[in-house]
């Protein structure tokens, strides 16, 4: 029943990563019951980071914990392999990658891509399957063909699709906040971007499930959904920077375009809306 948070990337006003803010954030997340930090995921704007920034984020998080999954995906295979080799010298749980996105490619190119990563990696290789973002669905059948995937994070509203990866006997997580109750109950855990700003709600959800108090678990899941849904019109990722400050009490810098900072009035409006839901008892 693991809680994995794809950590946001704290930027300063010049668009540089602020390492001290990364460490403060990781320390708090671990204190609040988060088990693993997923580095350079979607919430961490992984696809928008340079190779050096991806390495820096890994080093900052490793200064605090080795409970790390390091996302290495890129459309530049040379960069992917340099990141895998960099991770080979580090103590961490696994490396992960989304499939090559944007380009229309045959499935056997996706198989070759992941087999190259597996061949180069000393660590287990996890699949980050996010069809809604990449346009590619590396389902259980394709994962079987790749034949070296040791874990999967499936950001997918089709929970039946996610469950099928268990046929491979691998670590299986779903990456959607509104499926956290199912992921914590049936899979190896949940991967939640919203865990950046409300980690304690996911920890509490796990406790309710462990205690068999599914009514309370469901009510809390609905509260999580309401908060998560509130962020969508403002931009989920940009919203997180303001909600961490409001709900966790420390500064995680600003988002970097094309994840634009919120206008002051919008940020205030968002925080007021979320605070109202947060303060409601389940």
Ligand X SMILES: O=C(O)C(=O)C[C@H](O)[C@H](O)CO
Residues at the contact surface with ligand X, assessed by CB under 6 A: 6, 38, 41-43, 153, 155, 175-177, 191-193
111 is in an annotated binding site: no
Identity of the residue, 65 or 112, whose beta carbon is nearer to ligand X in the bound complex = 65
Phi/psi at 254 (nearest 5 deg)? -130, 160
Active site residue 273: no
CB of 269 vs ligand X, minimal distance in Å: 21
60, 113, 128, 173: the active-site residue: 128
Q: Are strands 94-97 and 68-71 parallel, antiparallel or unpaired?
A: parallel
CB of 211 vs ligand X, minimal distance in Å: 25
72 is in an annotated binding site: no
Buried b (16+ CB within 10 A) or exposed e, 234-257: bbbbbbbbbbbbebbeeebbbbbe
Q: Two tokens at 122?
A: 């000393």
Identity of the residue, 112 or 161, whose beta carbon is nearer to ligand X in the bound complex = 161
Residue facing ligand X at closest CB distance: 41
CB of 108 vs ligand X, minimal distance in Å: 26
CB of 6 vs ligand X, minimal distance in Å: 3
Active site residue 54: no
In whole angstroms, give the CA distance from residue 27 to residue 161.
Answer: 33
Identity of the residue, 145 or 182, whose beta carbon is nearer to ligand X in the bound complex = 182
153, 171, 223, 236: the active-site residue: 153
In whole angstroms, give the CA distance from residue 215 to residue 4.
Answer: 23
Phi/psi at 69 (nearest 5 deg)? -110, 125
Identity of the residue, 177 or 225, whose beta carbon is nearer to ligand X in the bound complex = 177
Q: Which helix (H) or strand (E) holds 126?
A: strand 125-129
In whole angstroms, give the CA distance from residue 41 to residue 9.
Answer: 10
DSSP state of 65: -
Binding site for pyruvate, residues? 43, 191
Binding site, residues? 43, 191
Residues annotated as catalytic are: 128, 153
């Amino acid at each position: 029943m693991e809680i994995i948070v794809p950590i946001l990337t704290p930027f300063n006003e010049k668009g540089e990563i602020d390492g001290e803010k990364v460490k403060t954030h990781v320390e708090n997340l671990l204190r609040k019951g988060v088990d693993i930090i997923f580095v350079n995921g979607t919430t961490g704007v992984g696809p928008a980071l340079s190779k050096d920034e991806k390495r820096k984020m890994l080093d900052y998080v490793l200064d605090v914990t080795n409970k790390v999954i390091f996302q290495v995906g890129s459309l530049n295979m040379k960069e992917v392999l340099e990141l895998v080799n960099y991770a080979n010298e580090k103590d961490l749980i696994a490396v992960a990658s989304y499939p090559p996105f944007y380009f229309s490619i045959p499935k056997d190119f996706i198989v070759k891509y992941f087999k190259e990563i597996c061949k180069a990696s000393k660590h287990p290789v996890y699949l980050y399957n996010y069809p809604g973002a990449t346009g590619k669905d590396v389902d259980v059948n394709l994962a079987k063909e790749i034949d070296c995937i040791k874990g999967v994070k499936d950001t997918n509203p089709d929970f039946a699709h996610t469950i099928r990866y268990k046929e491979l006997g691998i670590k299986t997580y779903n990456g959607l906040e509104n499926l956290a109750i199912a992921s914590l109950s049936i899979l190896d855990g949940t991967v939640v971007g919203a865990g950046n700003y409300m980690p304690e709600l996911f920890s509490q959800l796990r406790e309710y499930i462990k205690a068999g108090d599914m009514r309370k678990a469901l009510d809390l899941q609905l509260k999580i959904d309401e908060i998560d849904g509130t962020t969508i019109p403002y931009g989920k990722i940009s919203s997180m920077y303001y909600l961490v400050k409001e709900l966790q009490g420390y500064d995680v810098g600003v988002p970097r375009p094309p994840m634009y900072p919120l206008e002051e009035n919008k940020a205030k409006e968002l925080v007021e809306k979320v605070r109202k839901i947060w303060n409601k008892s389940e």
